[in-house]
Each structure stands twice: as structure tokens, then as C-alpha cells.
């Protein structure tokens, strides 16, 4: 016999999932409905309307894909790219590389532009590649989860549109934590996830396509290779008066997303973005006070995800293990070239608050002292407290 499932309490300060809002968890206990029940269809419509507001768009083809953020990435690329289509992908971290890999698997002829991890992609380099290849699609990660870079988009979007290319933004880490503003910026395709700044459980990937992107899907010469992620089929389930069965969605996750979006809009997007910025500023001040330097370039740091370089002589895995065992705090290991060299601390959604900033700084300071790193006791909390006082 197996015992009752009891998960240990954790303070989730890694790259995701973040802590789920209590109202969201409560919404998940709502009774099941049929996937075409009239009441559930109303809930679907509410969810789409709320998603449009948080995405900052009027796009009709906006919905949550069943699956995590990578499902959204694959849906975005598989529906747009046909064999032989030219695609330009900017890469300055782990997830830009994933976009390029999936684009190749869709048959695209992919040109990649690279910037050093921890730095933004320069618009002029992207412009050269776009002018040279005349791509159907240009793709960038808005907030790169592996590095903590918040990529400027406006200039590259303009360049893409001047060359009649569609523009795709990976908003997995940014949606709900910083403005994405699809319509104002001219982003044609965007996808995200539910378990980061939206503060819901993982399992859905919000996605949105502009009318230009929808036209590209409708005028394909070849079938969309994925049935499950075919937006022409999903559109018939999520939109219109005569809904057609496509697959059985998770009612509980739709309930959760609907409530999470309500929470975002009740707080107010501007207030929510400022909260993420203020907490990230305090975290960084405290980290610097104990000798932890940011890995992302100044002026381009995502408030939702802070990468900190690990000091010489400090073992990455040992500190993270002690954080879990001694304090119940999870932070993220580095990915790619940052593996063993940087920590990723997520302050996303519900996890972005002053209590968590002070908790993780206090724990890190004590552990660094214990392992021989020269730190003045109390300096991290003092530096962070000063940021909050000045605010």
C-alpha cells in the first residue's frame, strides 16, 4: 500500500514553476464539466477574453494550447513554417536554440544569429540576416529563461515587417511579469506558459496569432504536420457558434488559468510589472552585497528571472541542495554554458514578494559564510531593505 500523497512545502524561486495563487488552486476543485457543455463553453470564452487583455491584443485566434510552453513553441512554428521556408532565429540562450531546432524539424531553412549569453541580440545584426535571407518568419525570445535577458523587440519587429516577414516572440517568462503588448508592438505570433508569471500550475500554453499570421496558416501549400497542435482544428473547438470536438482539454487547468488571469487584472498590469521590478531590484542589491554578480548585461535584465554568477570555490549543487534541505527554498541551476557557473532565481507571479527576497538572501548569505565565502553578516538583507525603503 502507498501512503497518502503529501508533498513537502517549498518556496519556489527557480525558473518555474512559481508558487500558485491560492485562489487558482481553489478554482481547480470546481467540478468537472463535459468538454462541450454549454457552461464550459462559456468558461472557455471567458478565458480567451481574459487572455486577450493580458496579451494586449484583439487577435481572434487566441487560446490556451494543451501542453507546457514547449507545446506553444511547437504549435507556433509548426503552423507557420512549411518545408523550405526561410526562418531567422536570434539566439542568446538555451531557448533560442530550441526554437531553431524545432524550426528545422518543421522543414524550415534556418539562419541563426548569435549573441553572447547574458547579452541582447543587436538589431543591426538581425537586420543583415533578414535582408539577406528574406525570411517568412523572424523569431526571438522576449525574456530568455536561461540567462535573465529581457530582449528589446521594437526595432527588430519593424525590420521584420519592412521585409514582409512575420515576427514571433517567445513570451514564456515575460507574460504577466512585463508588458508584451502584442498589438502595440506588432508581434504576429506569441506563446507563453501558465506556471511562471501567471502563477498557475503548468500544463497550458497561451498562444495568439495576428490576422497576418492566420492568413499564412490558411494559405499553406502543405498540411500542418501536427494534428494535436493544428490551429485550424483548435480554432473550430475554441471559437465560433458550432464547436467541434478536437481533444479533451483539462477542465481543471482551464479553471485555473481563468482565475489566474482574473488575479492579474485585479492587481492591474502596471502595478504587477512594477512589483516584479521592485523585488528584482532589491534581490540584486542584496546579492551584490554578498559578492554575487549578475550574469545578464545591465539595462537588459528581466525582473522575473535573475542570473547570479557563482563565486570561485563555491559548489553549485551543494548550495542548492542545502537551500532545499535547510530552508525549503528552490532556486535554479544554470543551463548550457552557465551550468555550474550561475544560479537562476525566479521572482515570478506569486513568488515575487518582499518576504521571498529576504528569505533567499538570508539563506544564501548564511550558506556562503558556512562554506568560507567572505561576507559581512547581515549585509544582504540590509542592502535589500534599503531598496524597499527608498521605494
The values of phi and psi at residue 25, to 5°, are -65, -40
pLDDT digits (tens, 9 = 90+) for 88-102: 999 999 999 999 999
The confidence band for 49, taking pLDDT boundaries of 50, 70 and 90, is very high
Predicted TM-score (pTM) of the model is 0.96
* Cβ atoms of 261 and 50 closer than 8 Å: yes
pLDDT digits (tens, 9 = 90+) for 280-309: 999 999 999 999 999 999 999 999 999 999
Confidence grade of residue 1 (pLDDT, cut at 50, 70, 90):
confident
Percent of residues, the chain, with pLDDT higher than 90: 99
Give me the DSSP letters along 221-247.
SS--S-STT-HHHHHHHHSSSS-----
Residue-averaged pLDDT of the chain? 97
| In 58-185, beta strands by DSSP E | 61-66, 86-91, 109-114, 137-141, 143-144, 149-150, 166-170
Q: Write down all domains in the chain, each with its CATH number in brackets.
A: 21-266 (3.40.640.10), 269-390 (3.90.1150.10)
Short-list 146, 157, 140, CA closest to 73: 140
Angle (CA) 304 309 314, round 5°: 130
Q: pLDDT grade, residue 360 (50/70/90)?
A: very high
Distance of CA 326 to CAs 96, 317, 344, 365, Å? 35, 14, 19, 13
Q: If pLDDT is split at 50, 70 and 90, which confidence band does 220 have?
A: very high
Q: How far apart are CA 128 and CA 112, in angstroms?
A: 12
Q: How confident is the model at residue 157 (pLDDT cuts 50, 70, 90)?
A: very high
pLDDT at 240 over 90: no
Distance CA 95, CA 148 (A): 12
Amino acid at each position: 500500500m502507498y501512503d497518502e500523497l503529501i508533498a513537502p512545502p517549498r518556496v519556489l524561486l527557480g525558473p518555474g514553476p512559481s508558487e500558485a495563487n491560492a485562489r487558482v488552486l481553489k478554482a481547480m476543485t470546481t467540478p468537472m464539466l463535459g468538454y462541450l457543455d454549454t457552461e464550459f463553453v462559456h468558461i472557455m470564452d471567458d478565458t480567451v477574453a481574459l487572455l486577450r487583455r493580458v496579451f494586449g491584443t484583439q487577435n481572434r485566434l487566441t487560446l490556451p494550447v494543451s501542453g507546457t510552453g514547449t507545446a506553444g513553441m511547437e504549435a507556433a512554428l509548426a503552423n507557420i513554417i512549411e518545408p523550405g521556408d526561410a526562418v531567422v532565429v536570434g539566439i542568446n540562450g538555451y531557448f533560442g536554440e530550441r526554437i531553431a531546432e524545432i524550426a528545422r524539424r518543421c522543414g524550415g531553412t534556418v539562419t541563426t544569429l548569435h549573441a553572447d549569453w547574458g547579452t541582447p541580440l543587436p538589431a543591426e545584426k538581425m537586420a543583415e540576416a533578414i535582408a539577406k535571407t528574406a525570411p517568412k518568419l523572424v523569431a526571438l525570445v522576449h525574456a530568455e529563461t536561461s540567462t535573465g535577458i529581457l530582449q528589446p523587440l521594437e526595432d527588430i519587429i519593424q525590420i521584420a515587417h519592412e521585409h514582409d516577414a512575420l515576427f514571433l516572440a517567445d513570451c514564456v517568462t515575460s507574460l504577466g511579469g512585463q508588458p508584451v503588448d502584442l498589438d502595440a508592438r506588432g508581434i504576429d505570433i506569441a506563446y507563453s506558459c501558465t506556471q511562471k508569471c501567471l502563477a498557475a500550475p503548468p500544463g497550458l500554453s497561451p498562444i495568439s496569432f495576428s490576422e497576418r499570421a492566420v492568413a499564412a496558416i490558411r494559405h499553406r501549400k502543405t498540411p500542418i504536420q501536427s494534428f494535436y497542435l493544428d490551429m485550424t482544428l483548435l480554432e473550430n473547438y475554441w471559437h465560433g457558434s458550432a464547436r467541434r470536438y478536437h481533444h479533451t482539454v483539462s477542465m481543471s487547468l482551464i479553471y485555473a488559468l481563468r482565475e489566474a488571469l482574473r488575479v492579474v487584472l485585479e492587481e492591474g498590469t502596471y502595478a504587477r510589472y512594477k512589483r516584479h521590478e521592485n523585488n528584482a531590484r532589491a534581490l540584486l542589491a542584496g546579492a551584490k552585497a554578498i559578492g554575487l554578480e549578475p550574469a545578464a548585461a545591465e539595462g537588459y535584465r528581466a525582473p522575473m528571472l535573475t542570473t547570479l554568477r557563482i563565486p570561485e570555490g563555491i559548489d553549485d549543487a551543494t548550495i542548492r541542495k542545502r537551500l532545499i534541505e535547510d530552508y525549503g527554498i528552490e532556486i535554479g541551476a544554470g543551463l548550457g554554458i552557465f551550468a555550474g557557473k550561475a544560479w537562476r532565481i525566479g521572482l515570478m507571479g506569486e513568488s515575487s514578494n518582499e518576504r521571498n527576497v529576504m528569505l533567499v538572501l538570508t539563506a544564501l548569505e548564511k550558506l556562503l559564510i558556512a562554506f568560507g565565502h567572505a561576507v559581512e553578516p547581515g549585509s544582504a538583507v540590509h542592502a535589500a531593505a534599503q531598496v524597499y525603503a527608498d521605494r
